[in-house]
Amino acid sequence: MTLEPFGTRLRRAMDERGPLCVGIDPHASLLADWGLSDDIAGLERFTHTVVEALADRVAVLKPQSAFFERFGSRGIAVLERAVADAREAGALVLMDAKRGDIGSTMAAYAATYLDPASPLFSDAVTVSPYLGYGSLRPALDLARESGTGVFVLALTSNPEGAEVQHAVRAGGASVAATMLDHLRAENAGAAPMGSYGAVVGATLGDSLAAAGADLAINGPLLAPGIGAQGATAADLPKVFGAAVRDVVPNVSRGVLRHGPDVAALRESAGRFADEVRAAVESDGPTAG
């Protein structure tokens, strides 16, 4: 099975449903806030509620794999069902697994998330390039073959990331800028948008310039940091400039804190999507 390219499907979903990605992050404190137990029963209830509330209306749902893995095989079973149910309802699923390895191990990670025969088959996956961009080749190639996408960690919002991502290579380019250059090459000629994205924190502001980052990669930019981490939709044009129309803002706690009320989850996600769309459209003439 080969799907339409992920970039094509993502652009359509963003246009139709609004440019927003909502995380599914069932960590212990959030389960407690919902009045749920920190066990399989709580995990199932939480995950089913988020999928039921949002999968038929948001562009992207992003399960954080670690919060399911901590429950072992039963947690993975909950994740498998969530992925299938979300995709059936029309949401694109971005698996937040941040995998990174070499050779046959990287190929196995790629098959886990990007092979249509896998029970965890998703529309895209996050990967870490810090064993060298070339180590990602199995995932990049399988994504192209299967019509899925890959989001590469480039300029992350955690403060520790700068010691690696801002490091300057021989020749003067930062590591982050080098990753963005690689992605730009992968996406060359793709329309309306390539399938190879970067993770770039919405909270970074001026530090993007310090890293020498050209964000125009003709691909999606997953932008964590909206909501609980302090960034707002109104910040996006200033942070991302001409690439703002390719930004997929990620909100997790800002939406999930309204659960377990389904209507409140839907209202919060809809409000974030509307705010992002308004910010991007108001900046249209200068944003590209």
Rounded CA-CA distance 33/258 in Å is: 10
Rounded CA-CA distance 190/219 in Å is: 9
In angstroms, the Cα distances linking 134 to 74, 120, 178, 182 are 34, 24, 12, 10
87, 98, 137, 277: the catalytic one is: 98
H-type alpha helices, 18-161: 28-33, 40-54, 66-69, 73-88, 103-114, 137-146
At 156 the three-state DSSP class reads coil
Q: Is residue 115 within 8 Å of residue 108, measured between CB atoms?
A: no
Q: Reply yes or no on whether 98 is catalytic.
A: yes
Catalytic residues: 98
